[in-house]
Structure 1
Amino acid sequence: MKRIVPAIALMLLAACSQAPQEDSPEPQALVKLAVVGRQAVGETIRLYGVADSGPGGRADLFAPIEARFIAIDAPVGSAVQQGQAIVRLAPGPTAMLDMAKARSDAQAADAAYARAVRMRGDGLMSDADVETARAAKASADATLTSLTGRSLTLRAPRAGYVESITGTPGDLIPAGTSVVTIGGTGAIRAHFGVDPAFVRNLRTGAAIAIMTAGNGRAIPARLSAVDPMVDPQTKLAAAYADLPAGTTLRPGETLTGDATIKGTQDALAIPYAALLDDAGQPFVFVVVKGTAHRRDIVAGSSDGAVVVVTKGLAPGDQVVVEGGTALDDGMKVRLR
């Protein structure tokens, strides 16, 4: 005899056979926090300059007369020995006129002196007249020698490096112009131009990372002097850094330097590690009662360790500094 199980009984049996469902746990992220506060924040600025040997280790070579720049025998950066030719010059137009006049004056003075000697022999001139003619001849000869007797090949006064050359072949150079600067073989320093807007915040002793062109390795140094006077030609102030012993740089070599300037006032700041970016929009995660919330901010200057926040945060806010890249807005967090 067959037993017929009612449909209602089968439904109850199926319901009892299913295991109870548990709610899945809400995802959590493991993070580390920092408290937003106020502090003096520096700023890293990039400076551009050259290596030089300092004022005590340089020698300048000047154009003795107005001259035409002819050729460069030892370009900037060349190592030179004492007496080695660096630049060749030739007399300029005004100098050539001065030479022609000096030759004419010297010839006239020579003739006047010879005439005075003859006339003295004939008793027609006194010894005083002859002495006056002789002095005039000596003065004219000296003037001619000063204009024609100077070498226009500028040579190194001692061994060193060619640090700078003013002008290029074909230029007309006024008399007395510094044409060549020779750097010594002693200690080399870095010389940087500084925007006058920043120079007041640079301090002697500030750290600077110096790099040479084409070399990514930074040379750690400190500023040895800051000169706030603005150069009338470059419109820049100057800063100097003594390079460590053993640094293989030559005068004239191009340098860049990343220097830290100190902030003058306290600013609201966060660790740089808290800063995140979304298509150019800086943001952070702020944790409130165990939940992370995205907060868009306006970031200011930075010294590489901390960054100023001008909008979006308040003192005492807790921001995520580790684990932020794994967060979504509204996610629960646990502290490391």
Structure 2
Amino acid sequence: MAQTQTLYGAIELSADNQFTLSAPVEATVAALLRPAGSPVARGQGVVSLRASPSTQATYAQNAAAARSAQQAYERAKRLRADGLVSDAEVESARSAAAGASAQARALSAQTGGLVLRSPGAGYVQSIVVNPGDLVAAGATVATIARAGDLRARFGLDPALVSQLVRGKGVRIARPGGGEAAIVPILSVDPSADPQTLLASLYASVPAGLGIGAGQTMTGEVTLAEASNAVTIPYSALLDEGGQPYVYVVTKGVAHRRDVVAGASDGPTVAIAKGVAVGDVVVTQGGTALEDGMKVRTK
């Protein structure tokens, strides 16, 4: 016997299936090479940038500093040959020249490669800039969605997380009908979302199902299972202050039995403790009984 729960959620891209293109330096957007929704191949340009005046000034300063440091190093070597400076001073000048040169080369490489290219095949999911915009270094310019498996995020009552049978996966409907698919559960975040007050269950959705990011989705999970268990009609189960119980009839007398209830499929419920196979339980009229009351069954 299995107890199931219907969940509602949506399909989203996982971090593994999304690339972010960011500005390497402060720059101006020169052109949008591939609009949102366009397919892109690995290495294909998406957005072209142009170094901003501030970045150009910084590059000029770094280049000048590198030239000055190199000249100081050459001068220190000449002075060392004349015995006017120590080896330590020459080494210090060499290190300064090497550092300034590396910094200038790094900025030159950044400003020389201002066409942002897709790191993998997929499609342009979004572009958050327009031509002429000034973007800061490290700011997101575009996102690329890579073809592949997606992720479904479902809301789940936090109280049910401990009852979840994860190995059963999530049963989801295929678009357009057809046999439902079982997809594996990736993880469960038991903390409640401040808006929905629900925990989050994540499941992997294969690309072959034809489901796209952003689509709403209904899923079904197994919360509890009972195999080879004693079962009774759900109508026989009574409750007093949170304690489930039933009335078992023996020789025409009703006796109250506190029970431990398990999984339920609706019409029936599994009983982990309290009744045994062959016991006669009251299914109707139990609320009018008291322990020890004589009854007539039909």
* TM-score when normalising by structure 1: 0.49
Cα deviation 1:266-297 (Å, max 9, x = unaligned): 9959xxxxxxxxxxxxxxxxxxxxxxxxxxxx
**65, 68, 76: which is aligned to 1:116?**
76
State yes or no: 1:243 paired with 2:210: no
> For 1:231 and 1:173, how far apart are their aligned partners in 2?
35
Displacement of 1:141 in angstroms is 1.1
For residues 129-144 of structure 1, what are the structure 2 equivalents within 5 Å?
129-144=89-104
**42, 46, 64: which is aligned to 2:24?**
64
Of all paired residues, the percent bearing the same amino acid is: 24
**157, 168, 175: which is aligned to 2:129?**
168
> For 1:233 and 1:147, how far apart are their aligned partners in 2?
44
Higher relative contact order at CA 8 Å, sep ≥6: structure 1 or structure 2?
A: 1
> For 1:315 and 1:89, how far apart are their aligned partners in 2?
76
Q: 1:183 to 1:96 in 2, by over 3 A?
A: same
Please give the secondary structure, in 1, of the residue aligned with 2:46.
strand
For residues 167-316 of structure 1, what are the structure 2 equivalents within 5 Å?
167-169=128-130, 170=133, 172-175=135-138, 180-181=143-144, 183-184=146-147, 188-195=148-155, 197=157, 200=161, 203-204=166-167, 205-211=169-175, 216-217=176-177, 220-229=180-189, 237-243=200-206, 245=208, 247-248=209-210, 253-262=213-222
Q: 1:109 to 1:172 in 2, by over 3 A?
A: same
> For 2:222 and 2:103, how far apart are their aligned partners in 1?
59
> For 2:23 and 2:195, how far apart are their aligned partners in 1?
23
Residue 45 of structure 1 contacts residue 258 of structure 1 at CA under 8 Å; is this kept in 2? yes
Q: 1:64 to 1:196 in 2, by over 3 A?
A: farther
Count of equivalent residues: 226
> For 2:179 and 2:47, how far apart are their aligned partners in 1?
33
Residue 76 of structure 1 contacts residue 165 of structure 1 at CA under 8 Å; is this kept in 2? yes
Which residue in 1 is equivalent to 2:278? none
Displacement of 1:224 in angstroms is 1.4
Which residue in 2 is equivalent to 1:145? 105
Cα deviation 1:55-84 (Å, max 9, x = unaligned): 3x6666554345566654334553322321
Residue 223 of structure 1 contacts residue 240 of structure 1 at CA under 8 Å; is this kept in 2? yes
Residue 7 of structure 2 contacts residue 156 of structure 2 at CA under 8 Å; is this kept in 1? no
* TM-score when normalising by structure 2: 0.54
Which has the greater radius of gyration? 1
Residue 233 of structure 2 contacts residue 283 of structure 2 at CA under 8 Å; is this kept in 1? no
RMSD of aligned alpha carbons: 4.7
Q: 1:167 to 1:155 in 2, by over 3 A?
A: same
Please give the secondary structure, in 2, of the residue aligned with 1:124.
coil
> For 1:231 and 1:90, how far apart are their aligned partners in 2?
45
Which residue in 2 is equivalent to 1:300? none
Unaligned 5+ segments in structure 1 are: 1-38, 270-304, 308-313, 318-336
Please give the secondary structure, in 2, of the residue aligned with 1:47.
strand
Q: 1:192 to 1:66 in 2, by over 3 A?
A: farther
Displacement of 1:225 in angstroms is 2.2
Please give the secondary structure, in 2, of the residue aligned with 1:42.
strand
Letter in 2 for 1:168: V
Unaligned 5+ segments in structure 2 are: 226-231, 236-264, 268-281, 286-298
Letter in 2 for 1:257: M
> For 1:75 and 1:117, how far apart are their aligned partners in 2?
55
